[in-house]
Amino acid sequence: MSSRSVTAPAPLLPVPNPRQKAWQEMEYIAFAHFGVNTFTDREWGEGDEDPTIFNPGQLDARQWASVLKEAGIKMLILTAKHHDGFCLFPSRFTEHSIQNSPWRGGKGDVVKEVADACCEAGLKLGLYLSPWDRHEPTYGNSLAYNEYFKNQLGEILTRYGPITEVWFDGACGEGPNGKRQEYDWEGFYATVRRLQPEAVIFGGPDIRWVGNEDGVARETEWSVLPPPEGSEDPQAQWFPAECDVSIRPGWFYHAREDGQIKSLDHLLDVYFKSIGRNSVLLLNIPPDRRGLLHENDARRLIEFREAVEAIFKTDLARRAKGEASQVRGGSAEYAAGRAMDGHPDTYWAVDDGVTSAWLEVDLGKEASFNVARLEEPVSLGQRVQAYRIEAWDGAAWKEINRGTTVGYRKLDRFPTLTARKVRLVIEKSRSGPLIRTFGLYLDPRRKD
């Protein structure tokens, strides 16, 4: 059959919107927690800090950007305001900001310096503006504070060029006798959409928190979520997970943690359990009191990048011969080999209605590997529900690994084995499975 007579698979709803798609493709992004806590040595400030304590004498946002760039990171999300209410930008609506600090004679703007440095280095910029505000007197007076918060959103979303992600924190430590603030979430989201229509909203409609601060997604991680309980909209939603974690025990810099930076093995484990489980990794690297990313963190970030590159340097399945139980319309356009051609836009597809299928790869000669990489073209929906990977041992297919969801990317690790033929068996799928990548690698660090 000629490829012209074969129709492309229809998207299986829901699918990512363009903002969500671009966000997912960044894969690895950074957080910088910075502010009065950096100088008080705390994690949660109370809002009663003296602004004159903020004085990062050597602040150099270009150093941050160059370290992050070299680390392979695509975006930096800065805490423009944390729970203490202290603003790293001059705000017309509060005195609790860098305007009342000695830094740059009170004329500085950390957000602007970071925005400019990111732009120069080709990094995207995201901003964190904490809804919980322990300084602002209107906090708890819902109407007034919601206006205050929207005004500040207006400031940070109009002064610094394109903002790629707006991060809304869910934390609120007000006790039973504390101030009760009813947030105008819909109004906050509408403000972001109006001023930065391309920005994804974390803790809002676009991106969800993975549910822990360890940087670890679930083994089964769907970007497709059922409609919220009680919702009138019966449609499932595209709602992907972001995994946040700090490179140190705390989110803010503390000199006592200079020796407690996560080990390379720990970071690699996080990599496989976040990016390798259909999520984006948001790694926090807190600038220190000088206003620099600390040497120890910078060194570890580069080691981490090099280790990831070493693992994924050679895809043993690249351009390997492939065969499949079935190919959509018998067309070369959807042949098994499309999953191994290294091209992000091509994929192996089956006919509509086929929900279990296999793809066999002949590596041409025996090869040793311990990592498998699977990817679906998620613009057409997330489909795979259960799969297994098998190797031919000369007499029979032997199971190496088994998994559930795939999504944007799934990375599996297993003890090193040597084989020439490997097979991906899709056992269950919401609709005809589409596989854009099936890769095999040898992680040189693995000893078994």
Is 60 within 8 Å of 288 (Cβ atoms)? no
The answer to whether 382 and 14 are in contact (CB under 8 A) is no
Please say which residue, 238 or 251, places its beta carbon nearer to ligand FUL.
Answer: 251
Of the two residues 8 and 171, which places its CB atom closer to ligand FUL in the complex? 171
- Quote the CA–CA distance of 388 and 310 in Å, as a whole number: 25
Which listed residue (8, 143, 171, 255) binds ligand FUL by CB under 6 A? 171
168-206 b/e (C-beta count within 10 Å ≥ 16 → b): bbeebeeeeeebebeebeeebbebbeeebeebbbbbbbb
Distance, CA of 350 to CA of 338 (rounded, Å):
12
Nearer to ligand FUL, 215 or 322 (CB): 215
What residues from 376 to 405 belong to the interface with ligand FUL (CB under 6 A)?
Answer: none
Are residues 271 and 281 in contact, defined by beta-carbon separation less than 8 angstroms?
yes
Q: How far apart (Å, rounded) are the C-alpha atoms in residues 192 and 182?
A: 19
> Which of 206, 244, 288, 360 is in the footprint of ligand FUL by CB under 6 A?
244
What are the distances in angstroms from CA 93 to CA 145, 148, 186, 401? Answer: 11, 7, 21, 56
Shortest Cβ 250–ligand FUL spacing (Å): 9
Looking at the Cβ atoms of 32 and 117, the one nearer to ligand FUL is 32
Choose between 43 and 427: whose C-beta lies nearer to ligand FUL.
43
Q: Give the Cα separation of 174 and 251 in Å (integer).
A: 20
Residue pair 62/315 in contact by the 8 Å Cβ criterion? no
Among 28, 188, 251, 387, binds ligand FUL (CB under 6 A): 251
Minimum Å distance from CB 43 to ligand FUL?
Answer: 6
State the nearest-atom distance from the C-beta of 117 to ligand FUL, in Å.
21
Which residue, 13 or 171, has its beta carbon nearer to ligand FUL?
171
- Indicate the residue among 148 and 251 with the shorter CB distance to ligand FUL: 251
> Closer to ligand FUL at the Cβ: 254 or 373?
254
User: Residue 258 — left, alpha, or beta (φ > 0 → left; ψ -120 to 50 → alpha)?
Assistant: alpha
Name the β-bridge partners of 283: 30, 245
Residue nearest to ligand FUL (CB): 171
State the Rg of the chain over Cα. Answer: 24
Measured distance between the N- and C-terminal CA atoms of the chain, rounded to whole angstroms: 46
Shortest distance, position 82 Cβ to ligand FUL, whole Å: 6
Rounded-to-integer distance, Cα 429 and Cα 368, Å? 29
Closer to ligand FUL by CB, 171 or 332: give it.
Answer: 171
- SS3 state of residue 158: helix
CB of 31 to ligand FUL, least distance (A): 7
Q: CA-to-CA distance for 123 and 369, rounded, in angstroms?
A: 34
Q: What is the x/- site pattern for ligand FUL, positions 128-167, by CB under 6 A?
A: ----------------------------------------
What is the footprint of ligand FUL within residues 30-59 (CB under 6 A)?
A: 43
Site for ligand FUL in 183-242 (CB under 6 A): none
Q: State the CB neighbour count (10 A cutoff) for residue 372.
A: 21
- Is 169 a binding residue for ligand FUL by CB under 6 A? The answer is yes
Q: How many positions of this chain bind ligand FUL (CB under 6 A)? A: 5
The least CB distance from residue 181 to ligand FUL, in Å, is 16
Cβ-based nearer residue to ligand FUL, 79 or 196: 79
Tell me which residues touch ligand FUL (CB under 6 A): 43, 169, 171, 244, 251
